[in-house]
Amino acid sequence: MSQSARQEFAFNKEDFERVRRTLYQKAGINLTDTKDSLVYSRLARRLRALSLNSFDDYLTYLKRTPEEDENFINALTTNLTSFFREAHHFDALANYLRTHPGQRTIWCSASSTGEEPYSIAMTVAEVFDSFDNPVSIIASDIDSQVLAKASAGIYSSEATTKLTPHQCKKFLHKGKGSQKGKVRVVPELRKNVSFRRINLMDVTWPIRGPIDVIFCRNVMIYFDKPTQLNILKRMVALLPDDGLYIAGHSENFNKDSQIVTPVGKTIYKPAREGRRYG
């Protein structure tokens, strides 16, 4: 296992083996040798959230803090992003856009390698039957490397299994020659997504409201509950009264009724009126 000079935290084979043993003990899941990069990227978020300096510190913390088990297991077992993951969210987005015509802004706050924001952009293009539409899409992530991949919009053909043949034809170009087996998002769709680096833990965000729909899916699990609620409050403050906050399948804010009100499966609206946009 090579140590990248660009990594924020030291991570070697011994660290990986300790993580692998711990996950097997706690969840019965056996990671393969090829999962070292996934382990680093997923658990590095927990190190940042907990202000820890090393994987050794984190594993010691995990051993002493049983309530961290769920975060540890979720971080390593949550599926990687894919096009139209949790498809009901995109159905809800389409319905929202049809009932709220006009200029709208959508923020995908954990865009990873781009499948989610491009799924949003495809949904928007289908609702308006045009790439030229009145919806602005902001896609952010803390990781500049995944943002670069997202901006390029190049994926393996296997990643497109949830797209219909019509969607593949309209939104993707097939690779040829050395790019055979890959697809690239068409430029007309790529230009509709603005990628930027945003750390949700920062005191201020380079983004202002109103934001009509916020996708914040499967990222809150990396934070403790007080941090989750702080971020949730800040995001909801950016929403208009009829805006939507869309969470991931592993995140539930139904009990946080002072902040949000559920309107669908992991879909929420602001609980109170009279917010100021950030």
Q: Which residue in 15, 20, 42, 45 is the catalytic one? A: 42
Q: Is 182:157 a contact under the CB 8 Å cutoff?
A: yes
SS3 content of the chain, % helix, strand, coil (to 5): 45, 15, 40
48 is catalytic: no
Contacts 24+ apart (CB under 8 A), 90-94: 90/119, 90/120, 90/123, 92/244, 92/246, 92/264, 92/267, 93/120, 93/123, 93/124, 93/213, 93/244, 93/246, 94/123, 94/126, 94/127
Q: Which residue in 15, 46, 104, 141 is the catalytic one? A: 141
Distance between CA atoms of residues 25 and 59, nearest Å: 13
141 is catalytic: yes
Q: Which two tokens stand for residue 184?
A: 């690239």
- Catalytic positions are 42, 141
